[in-house]
Amino acid sequence: MQIQIKDNHEPLVDIKKYCPGVVVRIGKKRMKIEKTAYLRKTVAEMLRSAQKNLPKGWNFIINDAWRPQYIQAEIYFNFIERFQKMHPKWTQEMIIKEVEEYVADWKGVASSGHMSGGAVDIRLVDKYKHKIPMKKRGLTYQQNALSDQKLLPAYIQKNREIMFSALRKAGFSNYPKEYWHWSYGDYQWAKRNGKKIALYGTISDVRGLYSKKMCPCGQNKKFVECHGE
């Protein structure tokens, strides 16, 4: 089924302003440049309503939300390296196929939901801002990532269920291969939920924060003149 993107031009808003007490942790390097994390207005409002479904004192920690194109490309190339180390015997083709299960493209209609401001990577913290356990040591990256993972101890499955139901009640939809990735309105959301129309297209690096960066592919060219657009 062909999915059309009809961007409704909702603005990106500062998640911290919309969701009281939410913890934003998108990495020191990015925080220096981007200052905070952003989502489309409706998505930020949905997150605020999901906060109300959490146990007292608990809150969400945001590990990623809207992503500039440069960051999406950087994550992609980092994952190629990381998966090459994890699977030294795999061919380049196998590596790319596996990486693309976890990191979407930074160009085209099916590019990452993060670039649209409709997707958020999310976990839970308690009242001391300590992370609530969501994964198990000894499982692989891919095993831990799987939302419905029966190999996890019951208490961890319970923690996940608390987060999942809070987000679902607020209208979010989960990417089943990543328990932390939730979205609304983006292309993948439309695809997962059998919708013909996606509400949010890509918002590129409007403020030009990364316009002078070198390309993360390592070819020693500026991003805009290499893998960027």
Contact residues toward Zn ion (CB under 5 A) are: 121, 181, 215, 217, 219, 226-227
Q: Which is nearer to Zn ion, 55 or 218 (CB)?
A: 218
Nearer to Zn ion, 29 or 127 (CB): 29
For residues 2 and 92, which CB has a smaller minimum distance to Zn ion in the complex? 92
Tell me the torsion sign for CA atoms 77, 82, 83, 89: positive
**Spatial separation of the C-alpha atoms in residues 171 and 48, rounded to whole Å:** 11
Helical residues (DSSP H) of 87-217, grouped into ranges: 92-102, 141-145, 154-169, 187-192
Q: Smallest distance, Å, CB 130 to Zn ion? A: 22
Q: Which one, 62 or 166, has the nearer CB to Zn ion? A: 62
Query: Could you give the CA distance from residue 6 to residue 190 in angstroms, rounded to a whole number?
Result: 11
The minimum distance between CB 72 and Zn ion, in angstroms, equals: 10
Q: How far is the CB of 154 from Zn ion (least distance, A)?
A: 26
Least Å distance, CB 173 to Zn ion, is 12
62 in Cβ contact with 120 (< 8 Å): yes
Residue ranges of alpha helices (H) inside 14-56 are: 15-18, 28-34, 41-51
